[in-house]
Amino acid sequence: MQYKIQGEPMPVVICNLEAGESMITERGSMVWMSPNMKMETAAGGIGKALGRMFSGEAMFQNIYTAEGGPGMIAFASTFPGAIRAVEITPDKPIIAQKSAFLAATRGVDLSVHFQKRAAAGFFGGEGFIMQRISGSGIAFLEIDGSAVEYELQPGQRLIVDTGNLAICDASCTIDVQTVKGAKNIFLGGEGLFNTVVSGPGKVTLQTMPLSSFAGAVASRMPSKG
């Protein structure tokens, strides 16, 4: 499979497949394809389907296969930002924000990943439930806004506002911590929780999560009455 990512800030990834090669996607992100791409919808097992649902994705996957010769298929981002291609290997799974998954080659698996402190996490917004992407292949992930990358050393920590963590290596430890001080909580405008990422591993942050964008727009909408 060969691919090209183009068109930021509303990017699309165009994949060119050999005969018999397949791509999977979790939602209606296909925007165009050659006529010989055959679509099949499957759950991939009830356990995996439920895991995808809890991680913010659809229970069913669409599988597109090039039949009778080479094929082409394109997947578009749903929000202004970037698309990142990440190579997944059995010894190097990754953790991603829920709804980050766009498409992947067949052989890539999605499951739910919970942060360590469930009691705090249930109130931590999109930072609590994330996706674990494993298996073998290439995964295409959506980044909201611009992407900023860090390589954390063992024990090195990064405190991230909830929702700004887009991707990290599964070797990283992810936790949720409460913002300290009543004045900071009620007057600081930063929410109740932050996400703490500890190395070793690569971390990709996003500058404008969809939830932050929606909140900014809502705050500027005229009130009724």
Q: What letters, b where the CB count within 10 A reaches 16 and e where it falls short, cover 141-160?
A: bbbbbebeeeebeeeeebeb
Does pLDDT of 129 surpass 60? Answer: yes
The answer to whether residue 63 is domain-embedded is yes
The answer to whether residue 210 is domain-embedded is yes
pLDDT value of position 188: 44
76 CB neighbour count, 10 Å cutoff: 18
CA quadruple 63, 29, 55, 101: dihedral positive or negative? positive
Residue 90 has, within 13 A of its CA and on its CB side, a CA count of: 0
The answer to whether residue 121 is domain-embedded is yes
What's the domain range around 8? Answer: 2-219
Does pLDDT of 44 surpass 80? Answer: no
The answer to whether residue 169 is domain-embedded is yes
In the chain, the number of structural domains is 1
Q: What mean pLDDT comes out for the span 174-202?
A: 70
CA angle 97, 164, 80 (to 5 degrees): 80
pLDDT value of position 221: 60
The answer to whether residue 224 is domain-embedded is no
What CATH number should be reported for the domain holding residue 30? 3.60.160.10
Q: Report which secondary-structure segment, H or E, holds 2.
A: strand 2-6
The whole-angstrom separation of Cα 150 and Cα 166 is 12
The answer to whether residue 225 is domain-embedded is no
Smallest Cα–Cα separation from 86: which of 201, 196, 190?
201
Does pLDDT of 197 surpass 90? Answer: yes
Does pLDDT of 116 surpass 80? Answer: no
The answer to whether residue 112 is domain-embedded is yes
The answer to whether residue 8 is domain-embedded is yes
